[in-house]
Amino acid sequence: MLTQFPEQTMHRVRWVLTIAWLVLIASLIYDPWTAQLTAADHPWSPFRLDPNACVLVQGNCLTEQPYPLGTTIFWGAIVPAAIFILLIFGHELWRRICPLSFLSQIPRALGWQRQYKRENPQTGKVRYELAKVKADSWLGRNYASVQFAWLFVGLVGRILFFNADRLVLTLWLGGTIACAITVGYLYGGKTWCNYFCPMAPVQQVYSEPGGLLSSKAHMGEAKITQSMCRTLPTQAAEKEQSACVACQNPCIDIDSERAYWDSLPKPETTWLRYGYVGLVVGYFVYYYLYAGSWDYYFSGYWARQTDQLASLLEPGFYLGGQAINIPKLVAVPLTLGLFTLLGYGLGRGAESWIKNYSRRAAPALSPEQIRHRIFTVTTFGVFNFFFIFAGRPLIQLLPVKIQYIYELGLVSLSTLWLYKTWRRSANLYSRESLASRFRKQLFKLQLDISQFLDGRSIDDLHTNEVYVLAKVLPGFTKEKRHQAYKGVVKEALEEGYVNYASSLGVLQQMRQELGITDDEHQEVLEELGVEDPDLLNPDRQRNLENQIRLNGYRQSLERLMTLQKLQPDTPR
């Protein structure tokens, strides 16, 4: 849905959000104004402190003082808003508006990215390419662990160092921005987002296989990413064009659901999903374990505590009215680490039990589908658990009716997401993807189909309706059926969706729908092999990312040639 918004509009939105974010960071250093809104005698501010309130921490009432609002707004509004966007609107909005991602693209915008020289051994020609993380490198194999570790360190750091300390938070955010820009210089594309950003695991949990309102990339024709990896329209190109450099395969920016089904069976995905649930639960529970009650968290005092660093060596637990003499500096990583491991262990155990039960009760469900549904339920659960706490100190300042509407809205939207996502499957994704390719082939055949659609277009048809239409079309002869199937196979091979060996099995259901025999499939492969021998070459790696990258290069060359033609001739 939102992927269709013009890049020029989103570019302006990114500028506004980035400037606002930088202003907020600057306010952490200098803000002589907002503290007045928190003074107890302020006449109308909802942020004013209650002089009679007692925030209990380890049995003692804390002293409240007027405070700048920067940290409260950042943790109480901006961070929860990001989680909401990911589940409801999906990655395609988040990846187009994220200020940190935008800042990481500064080197690309200025043309300062590092390049390396590559020489063709046959022709001797030299060309310069942007550096990319190699799939077989240490980072290419372990980037998910790096991102999760950074997320873990960030949450530990929040409780210990920069929840309330504005200088330390400024240094943390400034250092993260510097890292993003540095990675943007060293590598091409969205390398920062795909391999380094600590928000990436959070994004994967909430936005895959798709947000509630996100579009389905595998059912569209546009060869352009769903992120900011695109160029603005120019005099030579009226439409937006892809700026993809294929920095990751599969890429969430191109097709988040394809990336989801590809990563579903991987061990690191199991660790991420279940470990993240434990980490989130442990993060919020620690506030209770530290203070001895929920007052400390729900008052929001943790975001304005003036002596945060002074408490590092004080007792980190307070249970049963007694302080436990384990320093907070040790207690925080210990608690979050144990909860992370506990979440992973319970998740693995529950998944194993559910799979064993499903073999008896629902043998038709594949292990892949069972895991998908478990992930769906855990995401639904952790989203609603997160919003029990996230932003709550600010939400409590609103009228009670608005609080009820807010809570009802979150539960309703997340339930709709649960309903939508529960029904997804790898098989349905495959059918939709092949049906989308088949639609394009029907367009190319220019058949008269208006009488069968009752005013609808072929794009309005459901996946099953597309195949039914092919069976009833009087002009859809065996020759045209062969031609359409050949077009589907060719496109699937070009995108790396299938290869020579797997095509027979992957496309089996489609052949049944169209009445194509296995011998006819082999005949199609032979025809394609004659037309383009490289298409069936098993040593040549093909994928959708590289196809989009090459398409972007081709469009860039066409744009340059058009610009040269538009320039007036100069005297020789």
Residue 546 in domain: no
Lowest mean pLDDT among 36-45, 142-151, 330-339, 498-507: 498-507
260-271: string of b/e by CB count within 10 Å (b at 16+)?
bbebbeeebbbb
| Tokens 């509004």 sit on residue | 77
- 422, 456, 487: which is the final residue of a domain? 422
At residue 30, φ and ψ (nearest 5 deg) are -140, 115
Is 331 in the same domain as 457?
A: no
The token duo for 258 is 């394809």
Domain count, the chain: 2
CB 89, CB 81: distance < 8 Å: no
- 422, 455, 480: which is the final residue of a domain? 422
3-class DSSP state of 211: coil
Is 482 in the same domain as 405?
A: no
Look at residue 533 in the predicted model and tell me its pLDDT.
Answer: 82
Residue 544 in domain: no
Is residue 472 exposed (0-12), middle (13-18) or buried (19+ Cβ within 10 Å)? exposed
Look at residue 222 in the predicted model and tell me its pLDDT.
Answer: 52
Rounded Cα distance, 280 and 392, in Å: 15
Is 478 in the same domain as 403?
A: no
Q: Shortest CA distance to 176 belongs to which of 157, 189, 160, 159?
A: 157
Residues 6+ apart with CB under 8 A from 535: 490, 493, 494, 528, 529
At residue 379, φ and ψ (nearest 5 deg) are -65, -45
Crossing angle of helices 166-186 and 7-27, rounded to 10°: 140
Is 413 in the same domain as 449?
A: no
Residue 268 in domain: yes
3-class DSSP state of 457: coil
375-393 tens-digit pLDDT? 999 999 999 999 999 999 9
Give the structural domain span for 127: 2-422
Lowest mean pLDDT among 228-232, 319-323, 349-353: 228-232
The token duo for 284 is 């919020």
Is 366 in the same domain as 508?
A: no
Average pLDDT, the chain: 87
Look at residue 132 in the predicted model and tell me its pLDDT.
Answer: 86
Residue 435 in domain: yes
Lowest mean pLDDT among 120-129, 133-142, 410-419: 120-129
Look at residue 142 in the predicted model and tell me its pLDDT.
Answer: 93
- Provide mean pLDDT across the span 158-184: 96
CB 286, CB 340: distance < 8 Å: no
Is 400 in the same domain as 431?
A: no
264-279 tens-digit pLDDT? 999 999 999 999 999 9
Is 397 in the same domain as 455?
A: no
Residues 6+ apart with CB under 8 A from 109: none
Residue 206 in domain: yes
Is 404 in the same domain as 438?
A: no
Lowest mean pLDDT among 194-198, 214-218, 473-477, 545-549: 545-549
Residue 407 scores a pLDDT above 90: yes
How sure is the predictor about 111, in pLDDT bands with cuts at 50, 70 and 90? confident
How sure is the predictor about 206, in pLDDT bands with cuts at 50, 70 and 90? very high
Is 313 in the same domain as 386?
A: yes
Residue 243 scores a pLDDT above 80: no
Residue 336 in domain: yes
Is 232 in the same domain as 340?
A: yes
73-100 tens-digit pLDDT? 999 999 999 999 999 999 889 988 999 9
Residue 548 in domain: no
Is 46 in the same domain as 71?
A: yes
Lowest mean pLDDT among 201-210, 219-228, 298-307: 219-228
Residue 52 in domain: yes
419-469 tens-digit pLDDT? 999 999 988 888 888 888 888 887 777 776 766 777 677 777 777 777 777
- 365, 390, 422: which is the final residue of a domain? 422
How sure is the predictor about 572, in pLDDT bands with cuts at 50, 70 and 90? very low
Q: What is the pTM of this model?
A: 0.89
Residue 547 scores a pLDDT above 60: yes
Look at residue 375 in the predicted model and tell me its pLDDT.
Answer: 97
At residue 327, φ and ψ (nearest 5 deg) are -55, 145
Is 432 in the same domain as 406?
A: no
